[in-house]
Structure 1
Amino acid sequence: MSNSLRFFEFQKIAYKGKWQNTLFTEDLHKAFEAYYTKNPDTPFFELIPYGVRFKQYVGAIQIGKTTIEVLPKIGKEGNEETWQKVLIDMLKTCHLLTAKQTGDAHLKLKSNSILDLYFEMYILELENLLHKGLIKKYKPNSGQQKALKGALKFSKHLSKNIVHKERFYLNYTEYTKNHLLHQILFVALKVVNHISSSPLLKDRIGRIQLLFPEVNSLKTNKNHFTKIANSRKHKPYEKAISIAELILLNYRPDIKSGNRDLLALMFDMNMLWEEYVFRLLKKIHSKEYRILSQQKKLFWHKNQKIKPDIVMVEKSSNKTFVIDTKWKVLQKNRPSDDDLKQMYVYNHHWSAYKSILLYPKSKLQQSVEGNFALPMQNQTHTCQLLFVDVLENNQLNKNITNQVIEALEIEDKSQTKLPKKNYNERI
């Protein structure tokens, strides 16, 4: 029988004491302790007395048959279902959850976790690959053959075939479906089958296993995924391999008993928020602005570089703006000195008219704009704190970038136009 629990980022939970939660058991705590012992640098959580404190990572952790969803949340608005939907919509917008659901086979969101959605997405990708036909590849091999097709290994041939004159020990190539791609996919399928408790998914996995070719067993690691070349032949496999990598590199089997196998599919909420804002800006406002992400410039010496989250260049005026996203609640509308110093440097290095520190709104916060004391020549030099509503009508707000554009388009008559740049230049 599976069990599903939901908590929020930075929440503390324990099976007894100050942070006691009746849903969190001592057995779960022991499983987290075991994981932490093997992975003391884990960014997902930290241990507290009798429990854990989640960090800025969101997603799903499965321990044995218990699934724990860690959800984002800003402020007091919205419940668990609302913020689960927010997380899923963000993952979809950032192309981290993109599989199409078909017919009656798709899972019902209300009764299943984000982990189930990833499992279903993986199974759907495998079903599509099987439907289209799995590719074969040439694979080097050696062994006994009855026909002389390949390079004869003379010493091996003499030692093994003194009696059997009809055989040849050869080096040869085999055109087969038993290659690295299929070995990785099948290992990940076995993990999903072991972890999942959905009868519907189990049934679909069983059918895939019957149709899947026989392949060698594989103990996967990072190196196996780096060996996969980018090629036209591999293109249909990209999505399935990326999900398999996510599953296999985050799976920690409990060798002793199997009761506490752990799989963590977690995402840094700071990076997810940045990527979500960037994707929306790119999708909605790319006609008016050239929008760039993580652009680097040399800051000091030979390799010390700086990179703002988002750089925007207005195509009509050639004005540059810098945006840094911050997924945190800002107290009393006062950014840290480090954040302001960072924006000051960005403005100078990108000759930006304005920089924006973009926060999710958690209460009745008002945007604040201020000039830096040391201006740049011939133009203003400002930084604005901008707070945007993550939720709109209890759903993820898809219009937050309108607030960003409005902040950029406020007329400032003191600004002067710069000479036109070549847009093909790298910023």
Structure 2
Amino acid sequence: MSSPLRFFEYDKVAYKGKWQRTLFKKTHYEAFENYYNANPETPFFELIPYGVRFKQYVGAIQIGRTTIEVLPKVGKQGNEDTWQSVLLDMLKTCNLLIAKQTGEAQLKLRANSVLELYFELFINEIDSLCRRGLIKKYQPQSGQNKTLKGAIHFSKNISKNTVHKERFYINYTTYTKDHLLHQILFETLKVIDLVSNSPLLKDKIGRLKIMFPEVKTLEVSESHFSKITESRKHVPYEKAVAIAKLILLNYRPDIKAGHKDLLAIMFDMNVLWEEYVFRILKKKQSKEFQVLGQGKKLFWGRSQKIQPDIVLIHKATNQTFIIDTKWKVLNKNRPGDDDLKQMYVYNHYWESYHSMLLYPQSNDQQDLLGSFALPIGDKVHQCQLSFAKVLKNGGLNNDISQDIIDKLQKL
């Protein structure tokens, strides 16, 4: 099994020229080019001479038999394994890497790729479902039958059985495992079997197919997932369905002449960083603060609203803090005018006197506190540029939430 090609966000890679990389081949570029021509609005990358430039999206892209992993990185610290571990930890914290507690120990945490880890998670979930017993559902059916065991469909019965009086065209129900949930899961198994490079996973899929009931083929779309209702019987399926949705809705078969299937599971680092900071604050600081995410307030007219990333309200003092996360390297400790104007408005609308623009620390940047020229009433309000240390002891810094709170409490 070949290892994935690994790059970092914003890397430029090509098979020849200025950005040549030994492992990046002309066939890889052609596959990206074919995909781009079919999907010119793709946010994951852009074409450059003889290669591609990745954007702020991280995760894994598989084209044909080649897996390409795009990893986050801030500054010059850490290698590919370190940043893959950071990505996996962030995804797990944000519930984007879902595993049963009992199955986590069986996973290879140093998986061959992020994509392979999602495949393994899904297969473990299906194995667990099969062992506990797949549920049955009542499914409506219709068709010809020699016994009357349901309601007659009169118009079709007349058109089809005028001559054959011994037959009935009827509507009836069956109690079966062939229903939407299992059809979606089985389609996901087939996709993984098709695109996976792992003999071990293919072997597991082969054994699961024997345990899995025969179900109808389904061309899955987003609308199928919206038809899955909340039910006590569906709870054990939630994790498997979540991963199935991620895989099936990001799978693009037959990019060109059936030669290059593509599966991309990619995450916008701006969104992932925001969600990660929100979740760790909510988990570790909820005793002291009320932590609110994406709260909206009306800004203009009847529909235009504004929403900061994170609002913290101190439970004892009722003091409000605004945090806006930015996953980018800030040069010369100077934020953009638009970012500062945004924080100024947030302070006014939430009656906050202290806000924070939070960046990942790329070197030895120092926090910087500045006050806005126009006060709120008669009170000065401020915005602090803060830099969170992402890496610590060779992995993701587990103290980020406390570091953020310490910075706020010094204001």
TM-score of the alignment, normalized to the shorter chain, above 0.5: yes
> How far, CA to CA, are the matches of 2:67 and 2:129 in structure 1?
28
- The equivalent residue for 1:374 is 374
User: Does the C-alpha gap of structure 1 residues 100 and 21 become closer, same or farther in structure 2, counting only changes over 3 Å?
Assistant: same
Distance 1:98 1:23, change over 3 A: same
**SS of alignment partner, residue 305 of structure 2:** strand
**Counterparts of 1:372 and 1:158, CA distance in 2:** 81
Q: Distance in 2 between matches of 1:138 and 1:146?
A: 21
What's the counterpart of residue 337 of structure 1?
A: 337
Corresponding residue SS for 1:356? strand
Alignment partner of 2:4: what SS? strand
Map residues 28-427 of structure 1 onto 2, 5 A cutoff.
28-100=28-100, 106-110=106-110, 112-162=112-162, 164-254=164-254, 258-410=258-410
Q: Using the alignment, how far apart are the partners of 2:95 and 2:255 within structure 1?
A: 34
1:313-347 deviation per Cα after TM superposition (whole angstroms, max 9, x unaligned) = 00000000000000000000000000000000000
Q: Is the 8 A contact 2:35 2:255 kept in 1?
A: no
| Contact 2:108/2:117 (8 A) holds in 1 | no
Query: What amino acid sits opposite 1:238 in the alignment?
Result: E
Give the drift of 1:246: 0.7
Give the % identical residues.
66
Change in Cα spacing, 1:288 to 1:176, as seen in structure 2 (3 Å) is same
SS of match in other structure, 2:386:
strand
Contact 2:34 2:255 in 1 (8 A): no
Given the superposition, is the C-alpha separation of residues 255 and 301 from structure 1 closer, same or farther in structure 2, using an over 3 Å criterion?
closer
Matched to 2:307, the amino acid is K
The whole-number CA distance in structure 1 between the counterparts of 2:230 and 2:107 is: 32
Conserved 8 A contact 1:15-1:50:
yes
Letter of the 1:141 partner, please give it: Q
- Measured in 2, the distance between the counterparts of 1:41 and 1:184 equals 27
Distance 1:107 1:305 in 2: 43
Task: Return the TM-score normalized by structure 1.
Answer: 0.92
Higher mean C-alpha deviation, range 110-119 or range 20-29: 110-119
Q: Which amino acid aligns with 2:17?
A: G
Could you say if the C-alpha distance between residues 382 and 111 of structure 1 is closer, same or farther in structure 2, counting changes exceeding 3 Å?
closer
Give the residue type in structure 2 aligned to 1:267: F
CA contact (8 A) 1:354 1:380 kept: no
Name the SS of the counterpart of 2:206 in structure 1.
helix
Q: Do the aligned partners of 1:33 and 1:47 also contact (CA within 8 Å) in 2?
A: yes
My pick for the range that moved more, 197-206 or 342-351, is 197-206
Q: CA deviation at 1:262?
A: 0.8
For structure 1, list consecutive stretches of 5 or more residues without a partner in the other structure. 412-427
Aligned length: 411
Compared CA separation, residues 224 and 368, structure 1 to 2 (3 A): same
User: CA deviation digits over 1:6-57, x for unaligned, max 9?
Assistant: 0000000001111111111111111101111111111100011110000000
Find the residue that maps to 1:97 and give its secondary structure: coil
Aligned partners of 2:109 and 2:66: how far apart in 1?
Answer: 17
Structure 2 runs not aligned, ≥5 long = none
Residue 155 of structure 1 and its aligned partner are, at CA, apart by 3.6
1:158–1:318 CA distance, 2 compared to 1 (3 A): same
Change beyond 3 A, Cα 1:323–1:150? same
